[in-house]
Structure 1
């Protein structure tokens, strides 16, 4: 995802851009409101309200008047009025300084899910959010073939059968499911599932991948891209339930 960061303070912009890149984002940096307004179209705008040439609220107003691009405001202002005004002018969310990269990434992903385009309902003629597979999408729920991941309840179902996952296994599956078919590097996964700058044994990731494959009942759900990382893809015959025997808790054995 291409992100435009409009932030005049390089002490904030530098580490933030580096952190976002570690999570797989492509970051364009503008130091003024004018530069931000002149930048090419992107998928997400991160907008600092305290800019040197114009108020970030005015930048937000101008962006929204010409584009539906999602906007997350970055602010050090304590006044609630500024945040409310920005949201009323069309911003989708805000974060208050100081904040962590992981919090910002979570907000970016949440805003992106809410901003998914609608598709026409052939029966009612109305538009409903789509999960990309032709079915109506439910906020917080992701469907990849027969696999359903509910981020609100942290439940996973495969062929309508519940699968019991440990917390890190769920976080790992959710991370890979953010962009099905795309390759996530080992570093990206460690940063997202464990913590940024994780310095523990990288074997930890392989152990969790192996456990997740076992519980999904088919190792081909998670492909190993040698020397790079992993990606989540439905097996060749995803509609055929695994022959693995499940316990009452839904765990494969």
Structure 2
């Protein structure tokens, strides 16, 4: 098993059910990252959409209910089991797959849109991932992905450790908000230039770069994080076209 595969599976296999119960309404997801990413994706009715790193199927369900034909994959079997239950009866097919490896089950020029929500942080090298996304996309395909904000992560001593901003480093911390015991999750922090240059090198054209603001509803649901995120972003959301 590759290091990326170990990082990704370890990240969620131990608390998949707790994640699935919390993430649909957890403010950082439901009132911050997810609305920003889905707004960039736009209308998907009648489109073939790949949900890359689909987790427990929260976005896959939304896409299918938006009348997309959804092709979803994730590396964590426990997450896929939950995703299949969530999307039962909807037009979604699921596959166990690793973002860090070729997406061999997806044909070239076969998809109209790709959504990758908070999954690329678990992959060390982004270039091959962006190249595979480019391969499976039809002309005009739109790619939307979200990640941890490089500057936000580097500013936190827990995240960067002793690494330079320009380095890619593996780090981990115990996450709150998903019940006890707090899961220990590892991911990669990297400079912004590596993200955007990797995108361009794979043939994608950057269209929008968003440092999201929380939706107004978050002010009453989670005032502390609403105030923090209104001053400084935690994630980036990107849209690019083939």
Give the TM bin, normalised by the shorter chain: 0.3 to 0.5
Structure with more of its chain in helix, by fraction: 2
Q: TM-score, normalised by structure 2?
A: 0.32
Report the structure number with the largest CA radius of gyration. 1
Q: TM-score, normalised by structure 1?
A: 0.31
